[in-house]
Structure 1
């Protein structure tokens, strides 16, 4: 919904991905330490943020 009402949505998307994926990684770390899925979640968070930031500065 926010995409239609706000002109500059990239900072909101960056914030959304940062908060949601870091919360997910924290929960995976806290409750599933044996599987180490939180490492993959943190890796994907950095990839998403890198792509969004690069896309923000190139566009």
Structure 2
């Protein structure tokens, strides 16, 4: 699962830690907002999923 922080630091599966320029962070957020439009803001993990992580 990727994580992108406000300063552009990005982690993908903890194996890659690139630093994204501000313009790329902005583009990434725009694409994600578009792709996730209409989806619920929150979701619940199935029971027991936390024990498997």
Q: Same fold (TM over 0.5)?
A: no
Q: Which has the higher helix share?
A: 1
Q: Which has the higher strand share?
A: 2
Q: Which has the higher contact order (CA 8 A, sep 6+)?
A: 1
Which TM bucket (shorter chain)?
Answer: 0.3 to 0.5
